[in-house]
C-alpha cells in the first residue's frame, strides 16, 4: 500500500508529516513525502522516499515584500508573486502522486483534493488546525477562533473557505481541466458524495472536540518526531544551560518581522527587566542581536523537543508546532501572534490557564512582554497546570492514532466511503 504525503511551507509544516510518514512506514506502508527540495535530506534521514515540490515560500517571506506583507502591507503584490509558484506546486504534486494508493495532504498545496479525485484513491486532509470542520462552538481558527454565537461561528467556516479560495478558484479549475481532465469543482470538503476525512494533529486536551462535528473529523493527538529528544547540544549551549537557572526561550519561528532590530531590542530589554536568563532563537524570526550579556544566548535552530524541557517558559509567535512543543514540555507559554491561526492558539493557551494574555506583535512593548514573562515564571498555579497538561500530551501517541484511523478508513470501518480493501492487501 503506497501512501503519498503532500505538504509545503516552513519546517513546522513538514516535520509533523515526517513523523506521520515514519509511523505509516513502521505499519507496513510504502511512504513518499513530497515537499520542498530544501527538506530532502531531512526526509530521507528518516528513511522515507522523497519527491520534490518546488515551493520557495521561505525565500519569499524573507524578502522585503514578504516582510511588508506579514506586517499587513502590499499583500496583493505578494499574492501576484505567489500565483505562478502555486501552479508549479500543483504540477509537482501531481507528478509525485502518480503511484499513490492513498494521499494525505496539507490543504495549502491546493492540489491534494483534486489529485485524489482524479486518481480515484482515498484523499485525507491533514492539518494541525480544525479549520475545515464547521462548528457552533467557535469561529474558524484560521480567523482567530473567536466566539460570535453558534450561527455566526458556523458561517465563518464557509466564508473563510470561499474567501480563501476566491483568488485561486479560476486557476485551480483551469488546472483541473488542462492537467487532470476534470470538470470544475464545487466544495473541497466533499468527495464522492461523502465528507472528506480530516485528520487534525493536535491534542483533545488542548482543543476538545465539539459535539456538532461531522463523523469524518478525527483529532489524533500531536505528531511528534521521536529522535529529536536524542539530539546532542554544542558544548557552549550545554555550558550555558548548566551555569544558571533555566532560561526563558524567545523565538518567532519563520515569521520575520519587518523591523527586526526593533523587535530584538524589545525582547532584550523585556528579558533584562525581569532578571531572567534567556535563549533567543534567530532562525527566520529576525532576532539577531549584535551583542548580548552573558545571561543570554543566541541559537539558530535547535530541536524544540530537546530544548524546551530545559527552559522555564517559552515565548513565541503561536505557530501550531511551536505551541505543541511548549505545551508538551509542560512549560508556561507566552504567545505573541502575527496573524492567521496564531491568535487562536494564544486564546487556547489563555483559556487553559497555561499562559498569560497573548500579546499581538503590533502591540509588543518592553513593559507588556516583561510583565507576561514575569507571570509565566512566577505564577505557581499556572506552572502546575502547564506541567499537568504536558503529562497528558506526552501520554498520547498521535502518530499511532492517525495510522489506526487511516487503516480503518481504508477498510471502510468509519463509513467514510474511501475504500473497501484491507490496509496491506497490495
Domain span(s) for CATH 3.40.50.2000 in the chain: 2-222+397-410, 227-394
Residues 242, 393, 200, 323, CA torsion sign = negative
CA–CA distance, 49 with 31 (Å, rounded to integer):
6
Provide the pLDDT for residue 417. 44
Grid coordinates of 73: 502591507
Average pLDDT, the chain: 89
% of the chain beyond a pLDDT of 90: 71
Do residues 78 and 15 touch, judged by C-beta distance below 8 A?
no
Number of other CB atoms surrounding residue 218 within 10 Å: 24
Query: pTM for this structure?
Result: 0.91
Name the residue among 67, 47, 49 with its Cα closest to residue 59.
Answer: 67
Give me the CATH code for the 2-222+397-410 domain, please.
3.40.50.2000
pLDDT band at 263 (very low <50, low <70, confident <90, very high): confident
pLDDT band at 248 (very low <50, low <70, confident <90, very high): very high
pLDDT band at 336 (very low <50, low <70, confident <90, very high): very high
**Tens digit of each residue's pLDDT (9 = 90 or more) over 285-294:** 567 776 688 8
* Superfamily of structural domain 227-394: Glycogen Phosphorylase B; (3.40.50.2000)
Grid coordinates of 47: 528513511
Provide the pLDDT for residue 3. 97
pLDDT band at 75 (very low <50, low <70, confident <90, very high): low
Do residues 412 and 403 touch, judged by C-beta distance below 8 A?
no
Provide the pLDDT for residue 282. 84
pLDDT mean over 308-334: 96
How buried is 90 (Cβ within 10 angstroms: 0-12 exposed, 13-18 middle, 19+ buried)?
buried
**Tens digit of each residue's pLDDT (9 = 90 or more) over 2-29:** 999 999 988 888 999 999 999 999 999 9
pLDDT mean over 189-211: 95
pLDDT mean over 269-282: 95
pLDDT band at 422 (very low <50, low <70, confident <90, very high): very low
Query: Is 342's pLDDT higher than 60?
Result: yes
Q: Cell numbers 516535520 correspond to what residue? A: 15
Name the residue among 118, 89, 84, 88 with its Cα closest to residue 106.
Answer: 89
CA–CA distance, 406 with 105 (Å, rounded to integer):
13
Amino acid at each position: 500500500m503506497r501512501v503519498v504525503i503532500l505538504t509545503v511551507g516552513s519546517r513546522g509544516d513538514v516535520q509533523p508529516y515526517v513523523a506521520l510518514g515514519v509511523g505509516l512506514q513502521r505499519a507496513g506502508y510504502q511512504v513518499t513525502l513530497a515537499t520542498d527540495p530544501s527538506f530532502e535530506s531531512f526526509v530521507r534521514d528518516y528513511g522515507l522516499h522523497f519527491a520534490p515540490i518546488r515551493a520557495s515560500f521561505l525565500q519569499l517571506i524573507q524578502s522585503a515584500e514578504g516582510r511588508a506583507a506579514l506586517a499587513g502591507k502590499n499583500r496583493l503584490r505578494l499574492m501576484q508573486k505567489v500565483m505562478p509558484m502555486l501552479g508549479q506546486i500543483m504540477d509537482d504534486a501531481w507528478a509525485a502522486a502518480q503511484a499513490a494508493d492513498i494521499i494525505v495532504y496539507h490543504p495549502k498545496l491546493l492540489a491534494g483534493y483534486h489529485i485524489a479525485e482524479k486518481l480515484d484513491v482515498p484523499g485525507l486532509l491533514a492539518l494541525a488546525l480544525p479549520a475545515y470542520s464547521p462548528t457552533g462552538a467557535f469561529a474558524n481558527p484560521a480567523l482567530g477562533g473567536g466566539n460570535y454565537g453558534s450561527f455566526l461561528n458556523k458561517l465563518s467556516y464557509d466564508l473563510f473557505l470561499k474567501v480563501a479560495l476566491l483568488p485561486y478558484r479560476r486557476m485551480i479549475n483551469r488546472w483541473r481541466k488542462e492537467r487532470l481532465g476534470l470538470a470544475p469543482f464545487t466544495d473541497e470538503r466533499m468527495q464522492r458524495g461523502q465528507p472528506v476525512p480530516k485528520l487534525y494533529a493536535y491534542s483533545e486536551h488542548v482543543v476538545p472536540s465539539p459535539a456538532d462535528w461531522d463523523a469524518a473529523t478525527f483529532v489524533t493527538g500531536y505528531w511528534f518526531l521521536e529522535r529529536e529528544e536524542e539530539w546532542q547540544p554544542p558544548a557552549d549551549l550545554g555550558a550555558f544551560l548548566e551555569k544558571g537557572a533555566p532560561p526563558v526561550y524567545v523565538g518567532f519561528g519563520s515569521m520575520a518581522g519587518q523591523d527586526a532590530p526593533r523587535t530584538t531590542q524589545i525582547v532584550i530589554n523585556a528579558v533584562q527587566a525581569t532578571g531572567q536568563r534567556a535563549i533567543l532563537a534567530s532562525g527566520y524570526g529576525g532576532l539577531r542581536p549584535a551583542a548580548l550579556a552573558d545571561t543570554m544566548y543566541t541559537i539558530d535552530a535547535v530541536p524544540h523537543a530537546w530544548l524546551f524541557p530545559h527552559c522555564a517558559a517559552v515565548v513565541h509567535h503561536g505557530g501550531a508546532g511551536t505551541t505543541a512543543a511548549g505545551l508538551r514540555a509542560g512549560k508556561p507559554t507566552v504567545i505573541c501572534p502575527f496573524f492567521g491561526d496564531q491568535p487562536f492558539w494564544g486564546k487556547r493557551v489563555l483559556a487553559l490557564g497555561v499562559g498569560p494574555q497573548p500579546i499581538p506583535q503590533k502591540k509588543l512593548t518592553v513593559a507588556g512582554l516583561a510583565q507576561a514573562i514575569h507571570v509565566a515564571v512566577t505564577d505557581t498555579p499556572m506552572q502546575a497546570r502547564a506541567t499537568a497538561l504536558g503529562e497528558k500530551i506526552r501520554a498520547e501517541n498521535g502518530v499511532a492514532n492517525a495510522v489506526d484511523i487511516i487503516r480503518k478508513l481504508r477498510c471502510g470501518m468509519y463509513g467514510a466511503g474511501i475504500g473497501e480493501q484491507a490496509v496491506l492487501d497490495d
